[in-house]
Structure 1
Amino acid sequence: MLNNLKDYQIILASQSPRRHEMLKDLGLTFEIRTKEIEEIYPEGLTPEQIPVYLAELKAKAFEKELTSKELVITADTIVCVNGWILGKPKDREDAVKMLNALSNQSHQVISGVCLMSNEKKLSFSTTTNVHFKALSDEEIDYYIDNYKPYDKAGAYGIQEWIGFIGIDGIEGSYFNVVGLPIQRLYQELLNF
């Protein structure tokens, strides 16, 4: 369907199995190539700017090696609750703290995506509002012990047990909360 990209070798610069699955389900042929970067952003950025900045930082790591027929896709996702930016939890204690902060609250899941070739770069962000019911300590402990959400922004996966029992409302893209705003990405790839 994305005939405008048939001459491109697409590179997904992500280790996320959820992102791999979504791009595959979109019908794209791609290779996975990642680079280690320090995910640090400057102070003063808005929550919408942070994941875009980080996605662009990930893409910049490929800048000097892209051939004329390669397109790299990078992404980053953060969770924002009451002005607090949540990335991936450092440890169990951090995950407990994050889930307690999300309990009985609405929060925003913001993904930044960067598409970059030798000729151009396009970046965007997508925001989804999510509401959690009040979570008990037992529910939080069960989830962390059984699902080990240390690779997920905000210490949770909407597609896992905690999402099934805890999320009672969502406004916006479900797939954005999973980790990639796939519908928006499709539109941007059509226009790239």
Structure 2
Amino acid sequence: MMTKQIVLASASPRRRELLDQIGVSYRVHVVDIDETPLLNELPRAYVTRIAAEKSAACCSQLNVGKPVLAADTAVVVQGRIMGKPQDFEHARQMLELLSGQTHQVYSAVSVRGDNRHEQAVSITDVTFRALTGNEIKAYWRTGEPRDKAGAYAIQGFASIFIQSIKGSFSGVVGLPLFETAQLLERQGIKIIT
């Protein structure tokens, strides 16, 4: 069952897969914004701002009568926002920080439509087991960490490193479906009718 179409302001194949999973019809319009954290910006404020800027940029580029959905996800270790790794050394540093620790994944959703803007944030605790240097090298060679916040993908090989999660699995993937469904329903888009 497919719902009324929305515009997805994201190039992420994982976000598309998650919307497919719940039967939301969409068309993609990728926006390019500066995602650099502001000085002393807290993680929640950061993901909320970035998601809102993505949906606003999409709305300003398109004249659509459909809701626009954007999202942003950040891996946070000891209050520090981790970006995407620039190279193996950067990924190794990130994965060593995650090793044997619990970190947070903040995932914000922004939906604009019918002259209103609403947002929600999901925060999930993710606990990694201790990683060896050889595991980190082997994981890098899979190619998976290269374009992922925090240098890992919970839905891929990194799932074997994760002891537990407390919160939203889909939020860690990149789009918290519980919050997304609530925001879309407020725009008149029913997921299950």
Q: Give the TM-score, by structure 2 length.
A: 0.90
Question: For residue 63 of structure 2, what is the amino acid of its counterpart?
Answer: T
Question: For residue 53 of structure 1, what is the amino acid of its counterpart?
Answer: R
| Partner of residue 38 from structure 2, selected from 34, 42, 55 | 42
Report the alpha carbon displacement of residue 146 of structure 1 after superposing the two structures with TM.
Answer: 1.2
* Two-structure CA RMSD over aligned residues (Å): 1.7
Q: For the residues of structure 2 that align with 1:65 and 1:18, how far apart are their CA atoms?
A: 23
SS in 1 for 2:122: strand
Identity %: 40
Question: For residue 37 of structure 1, what is the amino acid of its counterpart?
Answer: I
| Partner of residue 103 from structure 1, selected from 94, 99, 105 | 99
Residue 57 of structure 1: aligned partner: 53
Report the alpha carbon displacement of residue 148 of structure 1 after superposing the two structures with TM.
Answer: 3.5
Question: After TM superposition, what 4+ stretches of structure 1 lie above 6 angstroms from structure 2?
Answer: none
Residue 163 of structure 2: aligned partner: 168
1:2-49: CA deviations, max 9, x gaps? 97xx3xx41111111111011011111110110221112322322111
Residue 191 of structure 2: aligned partner: none
SS in 2 for 1:187: helix
Q: For the residues of structure 2 that align with 1:15 and 1:143, how far apart are their CA atoms?
A: 23
Question: For residue 185 of structure 1, what is the amino acid of its counterpart?
Answer: T
Q: For the residues of structure 2 that align with 1:2 and 1:146, how far apart are their CA atoms?
A: 34
SS in 1 for 2:60: coil
Report the alpha carbon displacement of residue 68 of structure 1 after superposing the two structures with TM.
Answer: 5.2
Report the alpha carbon displacement of residue 89 of structure 1 after superposing the two structures with TM.
Answer: 1.1
Q: For the residues of structure 2 that align with 1:66 and 1:187, how far apart are their CA atoms?
A: 24
| Partner of residue 28 from structure 2, selected from 27, 32, 50 | 32
Aligned: 1:147 with 2:143: yes
Residue 80 of structure 1: aligned partner: 76
**Number of residue-to-residue matches in the alignment:** 187
Q: Do the aligned residues in 1 keep the contact of 2:119 with 2:183 (CA within 8 Å)? A: no
Structure 2 spans left out of the alignment, 5+ residues: 188-193
Q: For the residues of structure 2 that align with 1:136 and 1:191, how far apart are their CA atoms?
A: 46
Q: Do the aligned residues in 1 keep the contact of 2:105 with 2:125 (CA within 8 Å)? A: yes
Cα distance change of structure 1 residues 2 and 116 upon mapping to structure 2, 3 Å threshold: farther
More moved, 102-111 vs 153-162: 153-162
Question: For residue 127 of structure 2, what is the amino acid of its counterpart?
Answer: H
Q: For the residues of structure 2 that align with 1:41 and 1:136, how far apart are their CA atoms?
A: 30
Aligned: 1:23 with 2:19: yes
Q: Do the aligned residues in 2 keep the contact of 1:13 with 1:33 (CA within 8 Å)? A: yes
Structure 1 spans left out of the alignment, 5+ residues: none
Report the alpha carbon displacement of residue 118 of structure 1 after superposing the two structures with TM.
Answer: 5.2
